[in-house]
Chains A and B, each alone.
Chain A
């Protein structure tokens, strides 16, 4: 049941306990209990909304930064990753296979702000060898949700 609950919430975190219970043929109390456990175990880590900031009056710029790092003895990449992901400007931080080590998403109000953050905060970390900044020009899809798309049901009203 827990995986099914996760599937439902991953698609729409606002689905009510009552509705989940109906969807799965369970009691609301069971669902509530399961979700509490998932939260306590930090399997469900949060319920953020996917926002299209483009459509708001807020300025937002996002960049993906490739960071090459010298791993540290005993601590590998974790220590430097921690120093990076603590910044609230960093929206995601992943260790990668391939040509670079950390892949960091940084959000800011302007390109200049993001560029300065990278230059002053990321590039200056001791074990960071190099950074390459790629600004996002347009977002098409985020967390499985396609921007700028509203599905229109164009089926006939009655089909036997």
Chain B
């Protein structure tokens, strides 16, 4: 039997990620510095790890309720209110998932039918498009612009919304650009969306990594609360990527349906991660602050590094990425990244990995040590001088 013929066309048709070659190249190199890793370099704070260990020692190794332990859901509600002024009910509005990624997948699957449209502002994290296609829906990219600091504007949506639009993805602070949305940025958008039958999936995994004021969720607007599924998690804020734990908050009607898929496909999020997550939310605000302070220091160093090297780079106010414009080199994003890696052993990710409109940009993360960053900046500076 030709097994590959058995694969569903809408799965097979999704292109694999284009960064494979960088993996292969860097793995053969010595002294290479990767600015391509989209996860914290910090290890999970010890008190969180210790709580996970303790749960194992006590033999807490069973399933939890499908939605996640109620204690955890309650802590999530406390956190959402404490940090973002969002009120949810632990019994019905919260679903604990296997990372934020699962929550995104569930939300899309619960809402779209074949042919429905999902608006995805780009450059963006790769999962939205993939999950949309897997669900049989149609991704509709919106091109965000560096001159608008990669923020979403009402005009962008007006052009893209059709009567088939079911979901708009909003992802701030943003991977890969580091852009944020502030309260005023949302006013016009909310005005446009408030009477439309369109759901918002707001991916707020990087919410804690906001370097001005405080993160603002679109769900803060009364008109948007029920239309918005807020996705958040522990991976970025608490450096817990490997634990695979996140959550979705929203109107109970949608959470209930997401829970149905989760129940059959997943059962429940890993329970030792759930115990650890309870500790994270209860007692680790200081650990988060310390990590965020460190990211902010590095952010300033890297930003000035790219600018001093002669590149245009808008100031990213969130996440842990910079997204410099590399067009002064005359190279494509892909050429830039390949040559920078081969010639200076610094790995960045081409903007095109995050959508066609990422051409002319690269993503560099500062989730790596200051020593690495300072050395990388030196090498990048040397590289850019070749094009002067």
Which A residues are within 8 Å of any B CB, using their own CB? Answer: 4, 7-8, 19, 22-25, 151, 153, 155-160
Contacts and interface: CB of A to CB of B under 8 A. Distances in A.
Nearest to A12: B370
Minimum-distance CB pairs A-B, first 9: A23-B297, A158-B36, A159-B38, A157-B26, A22-B301, A157-B34, A25-B300, A159-B37, A155-B37
B126 A155 contact: no
A160 B125 contact: yes
Contacts of B125: 160
Contacts of A159: 36-39
Contacts of B301: 19, 22-23
Interface string B346-383: 01010001100000000000001010001000000000
B91 to A, nearest CB: 35
B43 A158 contact: no
Interface residues of B, number: 31
Which of B38, B125, B176, B374 has the largest count of A CB atoms less than 10 A from its CB? B38
A4 B19 CA distance: 38
B349 A157 contact: no
B283 interface: no
B300 A158 contact: no
B304 interface: yes
A155 B23 contact: no
Interface string B114-130: 00000000000110000
A24 B304 CA distance: 11
A22 B370 CA distance: 12
Interface in B180-226: none
Contacts of B374: 19
Given A7-B293, A160-B353, A155 B300 contact: no
A25 B296 CA distance: 10
A160 B297 contact: no
A100 to B, nearest CB: 30
Interface of B: 17, 19, 22-23, 26-27, 32, 34, 36-39, 41, 43, 125-126, 175-176, 293, 297-298, 300-301, 304, 347, 349, 353-354, 368, 370, 374
B201 to A, nearest CB: 18
A19 B38 CA distance: 24
A22 B347 contact: no
Contact of B34 (A4, A19, A25, A158): A158
A19 B377 CA distance: 13
B292 to A, nearest CB: 13
A30 to B, nearest CB: 14
A24 B176 CA distance: 23
Contact of A157 (B23, B293, B297): B23
Given A7-B293, A25-B300, A160-B175, 11 more contacts: A22-B304, A23-B300, A156-B37, A157-B26, A157-B37, A158-B26, A158-B347, A159-B39, A160-B38, A160-B349, A160-B354
A8 B297 CA distance: 10
A151 B42 CA distance: 10
Contacts of A160: 17, 19, 38, 125-126, 175-176, 349, 353-354
A7 B370 CA distance: 15
A9 to B, nearest CB: 13
B41 A155 contact: yes
Contacts of B304: 22
B27 A157 contact: yes
Contact of B300 (A7, A24, A157): A24
B32 to A, nearest CB: 8
Given A8-B297, A160-B126, A155 B22 contact: no
In this complex, the member of B300, B347, B353 whose beta carbon has the largest number of chain A beta carbons within 10 angstroms is B300
A22 B300 contact: yes
Contacts of A22: 300-301, 304
A19 to B, nearest CB: 7
A146 to B, nearest CB: 11
Given A158-B19, A158-B37, A24 B297 contact: yes
A25 B32 CA distance: 28
Contacts of A7: 293
Contacts of B347: 157-158
Contacts of B297: 8, 23-24
Contacts of B41: 153, 155
A4 B292 CA distance: 13
B25 to A, nearest CB: 9
Contacts of A19: 301, 370, 374
15 contacts: A19-B370, A22-B301, A23-B297, A23-B301, A151-B43, A153-B368, A156-B23, A157-B32, A157-B37, A158-B22, A158-B34, A158-B347, A159-B36, A159-B37, A160-B349
